[in-house]
Amino acid sequence: MRVITGTARGRKLVTVEGTEVVRPTTDGVKEAIFSAIQFEIEGRTVLDLFAGSGQLGIEALSRGAAHAVLVDAVKSSLAVAEKNLTATGLMERARLVNSDSLSYLSSCRERFDLAFLDPPYRAGLLPRALPLVAEHMNPGGTILCEHPVGEELPETVGGFSQYRSRKYGKIMVTLYRRMAEEGRNLE
């Protein structure tokens, strides 16, 4: 696992031990995700929910995001994310939050431009977290969800609708945009 591009390009990232709970995003899927949003990162505020090792938030920071909040319920995951942020020199633009995702979203007062949701698969967290995340998005915001093939997500949620969904082996990446902005073409 490495940072693909930006100020921390090529930096290797430490992974969280054990793959039952943590399943790092592959470099190929990460490249596809960031290719789809490449012009939406600079100067933006990012939420990396279910952060694990923090690689999605770190990639966004490396590519010029102004600030990232990395949330994970597991302290050992956040310790790894902190090591990765320190090693890449991006810690000063990040905030780590040790909290259950739903509790964090219920009490959060921040607003985000970009949100990454990559929860443990088949735990039922994505459909519950998605509407709460939508409430915390700025106008023009984008929500990206990584989930297993076969897990159906709602077409619309909190003023957002599915803009694009792509399959990468056993993984799906679904991108949501505000309904009024659907016509925008990123490619």
Query: For 128-168, how does the pLDDT look when each residue is reduced to its tens digit (9 = 90+)?
Result: 999 999 999 999 999 999 999 999 999 999 999 999 999 99
Give per-residue pLDDT as tens, 65-75.
Answer: 999 999 999 99
Cα separation, 150 vs 101, in Å, equals 23
Give per-residue pLDDT as tens, 11-43.
Answer: 899 987 764 555 678 778 888 899 899 999 999
pTM for the full predicted model? 0.91
Contact 118, 139 (CB under 8 A): no
| Single-letter residue type at 156 | T
Q: How many CA atoms lie within 13 A of 55 on its CB side?
A: 27
Contact 146, 118 (CB under 8 A): yes
β-strand 137-148 against 112-117: which pairing, if any? parallel
- DSSP lists the bridge partners of residue 178 as 160
Least confident among 3-12, 121-130, 140-149? 3-12
pLDDT of residue 71: 98
- DSSP letters spanning 81-135: HHHHHHHHT-GGGEEEEES-HHHHHHH----EEEEEE-PPTTSSHHHHHHHHHHH
- State the pLDDT confidence band at 47, using cuts at 50, 70 and 90: very high
